[in-house]
Chain A
Amino acid sequence: MEFEAVIGLEVHAQMLTDSKIFCGCSTKFGNEPNENTCMVCLGLPGALPVLNKKVVEYAMKVAIATDCKVAPLSIFARKNYFYPDLPKGYQISQYELPIAEHGRISIDLDGKKKVIGITRIHMEEDAGKLIHEGVGEDTDCSYVDLNRACVPLIEIVSEPDIRTPKEAALYLKKLRQILVYLEICDGNMEEGSLRCDANVSVRPVGQEKFGTRAELKNMNSFKFIEKALEYEIKRQIHTINNGEEIVQETRLFDTSKGVTISMRSKEEAHDYRYFPDPDLVPLLIDDAWYNEVKATICELPDDKIQRFVTQYKIPEYDAEVLSSTKQLADYYEETVKHTDDTKMASNWIMGDILRELKNDNIEIDACPVSPKMLAEMIKLIKDGTISSKIAKTVFEEMYRSKKMPDAIVREKGLVQVTDSGAIENMIDDVIAANPNQYEQYKAGKDRLFGFFVGQVMKLSKGKANPKLVNELLKKKLT
């Protein structure tokens, strides 16, 4: 029997606010343990939460960016359970009436668009951190740091529209790109600012009904998500083929072994006893507020790609690469403000610039070559001052020294030789120096033409205009 997987993702994204969702404590990462805490996020008796406006606006932005319907009225609820990283014994979250529902994200699947539905988006507070080893002498203990408690999260729940691990990774990458574009989450999976759980089931191809699902946790990179899903799908198919039943349970991905492990042992009945939090009042989002927030949303990747294709007449592939981050796209647009050759600009950015940045492991923001410098260099190519080949040298020098290209060309004497007389002289010298090859060419060995081009270019230290060299050589050699 052939099976297909049914996957839904629950993504938690940490919001880039200065303060926590329900109190004024700093969200700064890396402070001393429990330094960023107060009566509210420690859950001291009598402390009360007050909602951070920015979190609401960030959630609205994500909702708008994923085509969700923003709820005119939403409320907060308490999710009750005991855990040492949860200081109040409940998490303030949204349950009934979340801030947004019914959205979508489209992914590019080998050139075809696929739409993945978004079920809901809601706001909630993060839990603290438990450390099990390496803190104190006492090995029978775990250690609680509540700095992260009450840091704002939004949870984005997808529809079970995902069918393969690859689709899951593409969906997550796209979602991450949107969050990073909106500048509301840093998207760092390793550090936990972006976390992903998956609901996975399998069913025979053609069957409507979903199979029993497992919830996968602890997949803190794109690679692990694909691996965990691949393993889990195989495991479920194998289980069914063995005539066994799938158990609804939570499974943890063991990154070292590459397998998922049942957490059933700890699984007590989940009875979260959600109810509206009486300490917080309902959230009312009217058209005015909605529009105000909407107006602040930047152009999103899909729109940007389309615009780049039409406005700059570059291939969709180029537009996609250039739009991969907002900063790169901005860099490109800044560059083409100063030059008309949008395709050449794209080529340089996608090629040399991205390669150098990758080598140095830096982001486009830190690129030593400014858009203006790149555009200037392109200008020099276009007006024939330098050849494309010389341009490589100029670029390297520019990247290294941050000097303007014309200065480099001047200092190093890299101006292209376009004087036919000078080139003819060089050709003559080359012929004179290589009589054998000249004879052979004359005798019909056509492929030696390239040899002569190379020799002339070499003699000119690469500065001779290649087109002219070609033309003049052809004349001289015949």
Chain B
Amino acid sequence: MSLCNMAISELHELLRKKKISSLEITTQYLNRIKQTDDKINSFITVLEEDAVNHAIEADKIISKNDDFSALTGIPVGIKDLISTKDVRTTCGSKILHNYSPPYDATVIRKLKENNAVIVGKLNMDEFAMGSSTETSYFGATKNPWDTDRIPGGSSGGCASSVAARQCAASLGSDTGGSIRQPAACCGVVGFKPTYGRVSRFGLIAFASSLDQIGTFSIDTRDCAIMLNAVCGHDPADSTSAKLKVPDFTKALVNDVRGMRIGIPREYFIEGIDAEVLKAVNDSIELYRKLGATIVDIDLPHTKYAVAVYYIIATAEASSNLARYDGVKYGYRAKDANDLLDMYCKTRTQGFGAEVKRRIMLGTYVLSSGYYDAYYLRAQKVRTLITKDFRDAFEKCDVILTPTAPTAAFKIGEKTSDPLQMYLSDIFTISANLAGICGASIPCGFTSDGLPVGLQLLAKHFDESLIIQAAHTFEQNTDYHKKLPDLG
């Protein structure tokens, strides 16, 4: 019996019935990581000893208790930009390769309170800057469905590890699509909650006004379980929403009758892969058949989203990444002549090319004389994009689009052309600019056997609607049940 292929909900049932122990589950997952990770490189750090100890702890709780949380004893992985106390947290960068935070992020504290077992820290594009997980200092992560291809990014390790069943679920972050796009590439459920729904405290910032922690799981039920554990107000994060969090498992209802699903025509553009388009159109038809009302909507400023994003995200990043200066933590270059030389050498040697490119762009758009032309203008267009969604959600409950224009591309295919790489986020970026919630769920496969993702978006704090739509889709399809064969 391979426990690794089971959903969290199934494992929880077995734990409750005392048929298995967390130690057994955890051991199987750790073995799976050992067997598979040299093929796909999902992990930067595997926490074998810690995981075993936490599993033993979880088993104690399970033995004393009949009513334990749904994540008790469940092995999960964490994107390596979420701070874990005394566990190296690198952000996929040389500049933090030796950094071990003295504190836990709020979401880690919550996972620990839920007695989840953290099996390791997952690979990612350096500082979450990328769409392919090729820019990590710790090497590229590969797509478990085809190891010549990228797993998407920046949370590539989160997606590949869940798809390859190296952990039951994972926590990642989404700044412009970094959860949804890799989830699509790897054929798993990726959920980006509303901005403010999950505390960012302890999440290493890329672009603070866009970053949001979210989940990867094998299905929508597991997604709801993960969201239940990590959502909620945090006084340590000024932007965290002071709202009651619903029980997301209550939204696991197989029914979309009367639900208005909006199809934005701006997302069905030239350049979409034909097989992706077909899978998405089939999904629309399925929803229609299941009783949803399909409505056409307009998101007229969609074509500006990538430009707005690359101004705002890089501007914030240029400032967020100024703290990596070799003074308090992380990498410091040797043989510096003086302070300035130490700064410059540290940052020159510590950051990879993509990070430097974005720091440069962000510094430029904020610099004297360019602020109004770039940054301020981008903020204004952000207002227009936000308004597009507000108007659209007057007409529909959920918006349906492809997650990405193509399935996973080949490793190295876009590395020489940053702009082409940026454009692979074209369908996901707007949700971050507007702060709304969104998910990607598996909706088919290309003829090459690569997963295709369907993006569902809902207005602020309407996560439950997405869960309901996604769950219904799952109950009527079996794309999510297929697993990659890694041998």
Residues of A with Cβ closer than 8 Å to B? 39, 42-51, 78, 80, 82, 84, 87-90, 142, 144, 146, 269, 271, 273-275, 278-281
CB <8 Å contact, B238 and A50: yes
A78-B319, A90-B319 known; A48 vs B238 contact (CB < 8 Å): yes
13 CB < 8 A contacts A-B: A39-B103, A45-B83, A46-B83, A46-B205, A47-B103, A50-B238, A80-B366, A89-B324, A271-B368, A273-B366, A274-B366, A275-B375, A280-B238
Residues of B with Cβ closer than 8 Å to A? 81-83, 89, 91, 96, 99, 101-103, 105, 200-205, 207-209, 235-239, 315-316, 318-319, 321-325, 327-329, 339, 343, 363, 366-368, 371, 375
| Chain B residues closer than 8 Å to A279, beta-carbon distance | 205, 208, 238-239
A166 to B235, CA, bound (A): 48
Q: Output the nearest chain A residue to B329 by Cβ-Cβ distance.
A: A44
CB <8 Å contact, A82 and B325: yes
| Chain A residues closer than 8 Å to B322, beta-carbon distance | 80, 82, 88-90
| Chain A residues closer than 8 Å to B101, beta-carbon distance | 39, 44-46
CB <8 Å contact, A49 and B366: no
CB <8 Å contact, B238 and A275: no
Find the residue from A80, A84, A89 having the highest chain B CB count within 10 A: A89
CB <8 Å contact, A45 and B323: yes
| Chain A residues closer than 8 Å to B315, beta-carbon distance | 275
Partner of A42, one of B319, B328, B339: B328
| Chain A residues closer than 8 Å to B205, beta-carbon distance | 45-46, 279
| Chain B residues closer than 8 Å to A46, beta-carbon distance | 81-83, 101, 105, 200-205
| Chain B residues closer than 8 Å to A281, beta-carbon distance | 238-239
| Chain B residues closer than 8 Å to A146, beta-carbon distance | 328
| Chain A residues closer than 8 Å to B96, beta-carbon distance | 45
Separation in Å of the B204 CB from the closest CB of chain A?
A: 4
| Chain B residues closer than 8 Å to A88, beta-carbon distance | 322-323
Q: Output the nearest chain A residue to B326 by Cβ-Cβ distance.
A: A84
Q: Output the nearest chain B residue to A144 by Cβ-Cβ distance.
A: B327
Separation in Å of the A85 CB from the closest CB of chain B?
A: 9
Q: Output the nearest chain B residue to A80 by Cβ-Cβ distance.
A: B319
| Chain B residues closer than 8 Å to A87, beta-carbon distance | 323, 327-328
| Chain B residues closer than 8 Å to A42, beta-carbon distance | 328
Separation in Å of the A21 CB from the closest CB of chain B?
A: 13
CB <8 Å contact, A47 and B201: yes
Partner of A49, one of B82, B238, B339: B238
A80 to B367, CA, bound (A): 10
Q: Output the nearest chain B residue to A45 by Cβ-Cβ distance.
A: B204
Separation in Å of the B395 CB from the closest CB of chain A?
A: 30
| Chain B residues closer than 8 Å to A274, beta-carbon distance | 366, 371
| Chain A residues closer than 8 Å to B363, beta-carbon distance | 273
A216 to B181, CA, bound (A): 54
Q: Output the nearest chain B residue to A281 by Cβ-Cβ distance.
A: B238
The 10 closest A-B pairs by CB, nearest first: A89-B322, A278-B209, A273-B366, A278-B208, A45-B204, A46-B202, A43-B323, A46-B83, A271-B368, A46-B204
| Chain B residues closer than 8 Å to A90, beta-carbon distance | 319, 322
CB <8 Å contact, B323 and A271: no
| Chain A residues closer than 8 Å to B321, beta-carbon distance | 89
Given A46-B202, A50-B237, A80-B318, 4 further pairs, Cβ under 8 A:
A42-B328, A49-B238, A88-B323, A278-B316
CB <8 Å contact, B105 and A275: no
Partner of A44, one of B102, B325, B367, B368: B102
Separation in Å of the A76 CB from the closest CB of chain B?
A: 10
